Amino acid sequence: MLSSSPRPLGEAARRSEYGIFSAGASWAVATALLVGPLAKESFVFLLPWLLWYGRRALGWRGQLAALAVGVAALGAVHYFIDKAAGTPHTATLTNALAHAENIPYSLRRAASLKGLGELLSIFGLFTLPVLLALARPVGRRAPAPVLGAAEGWLLLLVVVHMLLSSELGRMGYLLAPVFTAALALVAQAVLRRVAAQGLPRWPQATE
């Protein structure tokens, strides 16, 4: 006799419930946590986002272990560099905090014509179809799968990186995974609509 009570979900079943996360996804999260602290100081802003949305690909224990190794590597690298250069160990932290002074400059730059051109040049002409799709309620249905909370928070974090670094265009590339996915979905929707309507036929000449 079959029991009507639901069975407890295992790890594999839970991952299937929230979406398929392969071993490659786990390694990607682990690699990001290992390399991120060494790559850039502003990784600290991305860290909460990565820990929360990466928990389904890699559990909390795995994430904390990878992060601990990454932070330890960061501390060791800075220790030997500061020791070799003869600089105080607080110089790195002081330099990182000094980036806050770039925020007013970045805001003024973004409000200028040159800054606007720099923002539009991040993805070039490919920005146009995505903007046109987002401007229409019907068009927003196509990129809807990649316009959730995770992508919204990532956009906010990218803006923070842009303001702190004053490199609007270069930091804007951090949004490339979301943008390219949205562009692909918009292009797919357009192609499906064209295929459904059919291509126009040239009038045949009559004898």
Residue at 84 is within a domain = yes
pLDDT in tens, 49-74: 999 999 888 889 999 999 999 999 98
Q: Are residues 84 and 112 in the same domain?
A: no
> pLDDT value at position 7?
40
One-letter amino acid for residue 185 of the chain = L
> pLDDT value at position 44?
87
Residue at 1 is within a domain = no
In whole angstroms, give the CA distance from residue 45 to residue 161. Answer: 8
Helix axis angle for 176-197 and 127-134, nearest 10°, is 70
Q: Of 172, 174, 189, 175, give the one whose Cα is nearest residue 129.
A: 189
Q: Are residues 78 and 28 in the same domain?
A: yes
Total domains present in the chain: 2
Residue at 153 is within a domain = yes
Compute the C-alpha angle 78/82/84, nearest 5°.
120
> pLDDT value at position 182?
92
Q: Are residues 188 and 118 in the same domain?
A: yes
Residue at 83 is within a domain = yes
pLDDT in tens, 137-150: 888 888 888 888 99
Q: Are residues 81 and 106 in the same domain?
A: no
In the chain the first and final C-alpha atoms are separated, in Å, by 77
Among candidate residues 28, 57, 89, the one where a domain is terminated: 89
Q: Are residues 189 and 125 in the same domain?
A: yes
> pLDDT value at position 141?
87
Among candidate residues 89, 112, 147, the one where a domain is terminated: 89
Q: Which residues contact 143 (CB under 8 A, 6 or more apart)?
A: 130, 133, 134, 181, 182, 185, 186
Q: Are residues 141 and 53 in the same domain?
A: no
Q: Are residues 109 and 142 in the same domain?
A: yes
Q: Are residues 182 and 129 in the same domain?
A: yes
> pLDDT value at position 204?
62
Residue at 143 is within a domain = yes
Write the CA distances from 80 to 92, 99, 200, 207, integer angstroms: 12, 23, 68, 87
Residue at 40 is within a domain = yes
Q: Are residues 85 and 117 in the same domain?
A: no
- Regions of the chain with pLDDT less than 70: 1-23, 89, 91-93, 198-207
Q: Are residues 179 and 105 in the same domain?
A: yes
Residue at 77 is within a domain = yes
Q: Are residues 84 and 109 in the same domain?
A: no
Among candidate residues 30, 57, 89, the one where a domain is terminated: 89
- Owning domain of residue 184: 100-196
Q: Are residues 169 and 104 in the same domain?
A: yes
Residue at 2 is within a domain = no
> pLDDT value at position 201?
61
